[in-house]
Structure 1
Amino acid sequence: ARAALVLPAAALLVSDLPGGPAAGSPVILAWDTVLPGFLLPLAPPVVMASLGLLLAALFKESPVSDLTPVPPARNGEADYSSGVAVCGAVRTPGGAAVPRAVLTLVDAAGRQCGRAASGDDGRFALSGPAPGGYMLIASATGHRPRAVGVTVREATAELEVLLGGPGRLRGRVRTPEGDPVPDAVVTMTDPQGDVVATARSAADGGYRLEGLVAGDYTLAAGAPGRRPGALPVTVVNGDQPPQDIELTGGAVLRGAVRNDAGRPVADARVTLTDNHGEVAGTVLTCEKGQFAFTALAPGEYTVVAAGYPPVATGLQLSGGEHSERDLRLGHDSATT
């Protein structure tokens, strides 16, 4: 088709040139004869090709991604632009805050729909999930990770996540003589003074603390009628040798304060001091003039009663002993 159009144009140009063949010459007549026979067979293919190009240009379709863009995958995350907040705190079983814990909220399809970190006070906040069921995964350095189920409703969800460590500590609470101390409260505190674990001793004095993070702690125990005891301990990951703690004391001192006539003296101040001059306790007598000191360690003491001219008396206590000592207060007749 292109050749058919060019050849007549060339013939016209030749005819227009000076000295070129005149109109009606054999050359021009030949082209007049040849061109119709040459172009007619080529016309249908040319027309069809032109129509095809025109239709293709008019009805060309855009790619599917141009009409319905698909967001790129974000590691399986679900995008929630609005919803209900999930708040709470990450703590140890003993109640101490766990800072810098990482919390991930996963929906029923396993897609991440929220992530946050706890602050220095253990608090965290996740926003955006729609109401429904989720799984909250919490982890922190030195602690065992934990996953909990969360049901998000129309109101803000508040929950507490407990993270323990792999360390364990066990032992017995006993007297210096080796006797067990049952029902003693065993408490462990960290260097900041926060309680990280607590337990009660069994009938044989045994106790067990679980979920401890490796580090240095203070182990303390107390029981009614005994002086509390404390000692430093170091916790390692896993089991470690038993750690016993001794509770001394258990001595009880009771008595009454009376005047010279034998009548009880109420509201008299009674002070107990040890052999180093340290005050072991101070109480006021009741309406019957009675007083009592409990959980005393074995040793020598001095009892001082005031309200009248002071009266003091010395005594010796043994472990577990229950002793009584009455004091008589009176006025000096020379001063009354």
Structure 2
Amino acid sequence: VLTLVDAAGRQCGRAASGDDGRFALSGPAPGGYMLIASATGHRPRAVGVTVREATAELEVLLGGPGRLRGRVRTPEGDPVPDAVVTMTDPQGDVVATARSAADGGYRLEGLVAGDYTLAAGAPGRRPGALPVTVVNGDQPPQDIELTGGAVLRGAVRNDAGRPVADARVTLTDNHGEVAGTVLTCEEGQFAFTDLAPGEYTVVAAGYPPVATGLQLSGGEHSERDLRLGHDSATT
């Protein structure tokens, strides 16, 4: 139900939205008004409207009475502050978002009862998501657990113990999928960050062989430089 009132609080129009949510109010003179929208199962809302000579188009978003709260925390129970908490509906549209407080707490309001996906993310943490069902009014707290990405560091050295620079180090998971590829620095060191828990295999390889053709004549002194390196597509 849509009710239009003027600056003095007098009713200037009333209408009901159709099955598609559209409504029409005709007759108000140009000026400032307040539009009040209410519907069963939703929180009412009032918005300011300025009517001019032309037809005014307005979209009103009504939230529900549902509320969801909880904490974003680590597996050890420590709070994760400033995490972005997002709720999406079954179609994947974002219906609510918030940031966790210093104690990891968050609160989402104006929710319509139904099934949703609740997700949270924070720098240095792997995102977490879980299904939730919202009911009208308050419901038990829903905590979201964010794990820290694992870090693998190491160094590549030769038999003499000297570091090998620009060696290609490849990390594969237990399914044989490549989790990452890096090149060692001048000190032979490498690092992989933000890894999911699990079993991995580390493979290190030096420069791939390079071949070049050449022809030498008798008594000729020739030079040919060979450049060793990895594919430029390596990251």
Which segment is superposed worse, 249-258 or 229-238? 249-258
In 2, Cα distance between the equivalents of 1:322 and 1:183?
A: 69
Deviation at 1:226, TM superposition (A): 1.4
User: Which deviations, in whole Å up to 9, do the C-alpha atoms of 1:103-126 show, x marking residues without a partner?
Assistant: 443445767655667789977665
List alignment gaps of at least 5 residues for structure 1: 1-101
Structure-2 change in CA distance of 1:106 and 1:141 (3 Å) = same
Once residues 155 and 163 of structure 1 are traced to their aligned partners in structure 2, the CA distance between those partners, rounded to angstroms, is 25
SS at match of 1:263: coil
The alpha-carbon deviation at position 147 of structure 1 amounts to 1.8
CA contact (8 A) 1:250 1:320 kept: no
* Contact kept in structure 2, 1:255 and 1:324, CA below 8 Å: no
Correspondence for 2:133: 234
1:192, distance to aligned residue in structure 2 (A): 0.9
Tell me the distance in 1 between the aligned counterparts of 2:127 and 2:121: 4
Deviation at 1:148, TM superposition (A): 1.7
The reply on whether 1:187 has 2:86 as its aligned counterpart is yes
Distance 2:18 2:218 in 1: 48
Contact residue 3 and residue 15 of structure 2 kept, 8 A: yes
CA contact (8 A) 1:253 1:294 kept: yes
Report the TM-score when normalising by structure 2. Answer: 0.67
Q: Which runs of structure 2 are paired with 1:66-145 in the superposition (5 Å)? A: 102-107=1-6, 129-145=28-44
In the alignment, the residues of structure 2 paired with residue 322 and residue 233 of structure 1 have an alpha-carbon distance, to the nearest angstrom, of 77
Distance 1:282 1:269 in 2: 7
Name the CA shift for 1:112/1:334 in 2 (closer, same or farther; >3 Å). closer
Aligned residue in 1 for 2:102: 203
Structure 1 window deviating more from structure 2 (156-165 vs 110-119): it is: 110-119
Displacement after TM superposition at 1:204 (Å)? 1.4
CA contact (8 A) 2:81 2:100 kept: yes
How far off its partner does 1:243 sit? 0.6
Cα distance change, pair 333–110 in 1 and its aligned pair in 2 (3 A): closer
- Once the two structures are TM-superposed, the CA of residue 151 in structure 1 deviates from its matched residue by 2.0
Tell whether the 8 Å contact from 2:73 to 2:104 is kept in structure 1 after alignment: yes
- The structural deviation recorded for 1:162 is 3.2
RCO (CA 8 Å, sep 6+): is it higher in 1 or 2? 2
Q: Does structure 2 conserve the Cα–Cα contact (< 8 Å) formed by 1:258 and 1:328?
A: no
Aligned position for 2:113: 214
SS at match of 1:134: strand
What displacement does 1:248 show? Answer: 1.5
Cα drift, residue 253 of structure 1: 4.0
Q: C-alpha deviations, 1:184-228, integer Å up to 9, x for none?
A: 111111111111111111111111111111111111111111111
Task: Give the CA deviation at 1:240.
Answer: 0.6
Offset of residue 149 of structure 1: 2.2
Q: Distance in 2 between matches of 1:161 and 1:169?
A: 22
Q: Which runs of 5+ in 2 are unaligned?
A: none
- Considering fraction of residues, name the structure with more helix: 1
1:266 is displaced (CA, Å) by 11
1:290-316 Cα offsets, whole Å, 9 max, x none, are 875432233332345789449999999
Q: Distance in 2 between matches of 1:129 and 1:165?
A: 29
The change in CA–CA distance for 1:203 and 1:110 in structure 2 (over 3 A counts) is closer
On the 8 A contact 2:181/2:234 being kept in 1, the answer is: no
Are the counterparts in 2 of residues 219 and 231 from structure 1 also a CA contact under 8 Å?
yes
- Equivalent residue in structure 2 for 1:302, among 201, 212, 215: 201
Q: Which structure has the greater CA radius of gyration? A: 1
Q: Secondary structure at the match of 1:164?
A: coil
Q: What is the CA-CA distance between 1:164 and the residue it aligns to?
A: 1.4
Alignment check: 8 A CA contact 1:131 1:151 kept = yes
The match for 1:327 is 226
Note the aligned Cα RMSD (angstroms). Answer: 12.9
Contact between 1:252 and 1:323, CA under 8 Å: does it hold in 2?
A: no
- Closer, same or farther in 2 for the Cα pair 1:331/1:247, shift >3 Å? closer
CA-to-partner distance for each residue in 1:121-154, whole Å, 9 max, x for gaps? 9776656533112221223443212122212234
